[in-house]
Amino acid sequence: MTSVRVAGVGLTQFGRHPDRTGRDLFAEAALTAREDAGVPRQDIEALHYGNFMGALAEHQAHQGPLVAEAAGLTCPATRYEQACASAGVAARQAIKDVRNGEADVVLVGGMERMTNLETAEVTESLAIAADELYEVRAGITFPGAYALMAQAYFSQFGGEREDLAHIAAKNHHNAVNNEFAQYQREISVEQALDSPPVAEPLHLFDACPITDGASALVLVSDEYAEEHDIDAPVAITGTGQGGDKMALQDRDHLAQTPAATKAAEEAYADSGRSPEEIDVAEVHDCFTIAEVLALESLGFYEPGEGIGAARRGETTRDGDRPINLSGGLKAKGHPVGATGGSQLVEMTRLLRGDHPNSDVVADAEIGLTHNAGGTVASAVVHVLEVVN
């Protein structure tokens, strides 16, 4: 099977960009990725692009060819919408393109522009990733939905708000030196505990922010990298995707995320790796409880054991398996359609040694990214490895 190398990566600053359009943001990330790869734009054969709410936030659908043009490309371009997992799904399809020989050079990434809307408008727009008939009409929002999942977890397995506060503090600490992060500042466990309630047991510092931003990667085949003498030491060796019922009320478990478990199992099998071999991971912590659910679905912990991982120091930067060294969605930010691509960018930088936190995992050779959509009705997992 053809190996898929990450030849180049690009990110915009995550945060507020009131004077920029979505196409402009993606063009910046795409140009940075292409320059990092050293690949001529005419060699890019396809664009796979993630975006969730552009039709609402910018009144702009059919974004594939639009952002391709903004990036100076004339290749076929496809937009993927899978809620918060949009860019992760786009990356999975790009990987398949290279593996099956359909392309040697593919650009993949995503973008979301959100801060031009009021907070209530963003909340309403994001809510359409839930079941409109049985959840949205009943007034469910994602803070409320994840609060229900947190309550179910505490009821079934135990845990308390302080466990979640340690996750928030950990991820803010990791973001301090990340130049792309929206919040490059510390918060304490006490500050997280004292922050205003949003939906009990979740408080303000349990939630990720509203974010603008874009991500991009250039993926190439082994053959192309060798022929063009491209230095691409990181490969994506495993990919997996899983799904679950849309509405929480229809699921067998509220305190587990089977879609992520399925995605992880497929990615591990695809790469020939196991959870024990993963040195570092970027997981989808849209809310602090989501990090706990991810750790357990990925096989790092048994159900009920992940809740205290940050508090025990196991997932901190000096722990056995650092989680979200980028700052995660919690502190780095969550421009929904860009997040899955951003996780891959951050992991590539960590493994090849040019991330500000690479020194924390200087000996790491295998990383994992976990990207989830909605209340994890969709999930995508990728395994990345240093290959030379």
Catalytic residue numbers? 84, 334
End-to-end CA separation in angstroms for the chain: 17
336 backbone dihedrals φ, ψ, rounded to 5°: -45, -55
- Is omega for the bond preceding 143 within 30 degrees of 0, making it cis? no
- CA–CA distance from 200 to each of 102, 143, 257, 307 (Å)? 49, 9, 20, 17
| Nearest 10 degrees: Cα torsion 158, 161, 166, 167 | 80
The DSSP bridge partners found for residue 372 are 379
For residues 1 and 213, is the Cβ–Cβ distance under 8 A? Answer: no
218 backbone dihedrals φ, ψ, rounded to 5°: -105, 120
For residues 136 and 145, is the Cβ–Cβ distance under 8 A? Answer: no
Residue that the structure tokens 């695809």 belong to: 270
- Neighbouring residues of 286: CB distance < 8 A, sequence distance ≥ 6: 84, 142, 146, 207, 208, 329, 334, 372
Phi/psi-derived region of residue 101, left when phi > 0, alpha when psi is between -120 and 50, beta in every other case? left
Among 159, 225, 175, residue whose Cα is nearest residue 14: 175
* Residue 78 to residue 101: CA distance in whole angstroms: 18
Residue 364 has which token pair? 């790491």
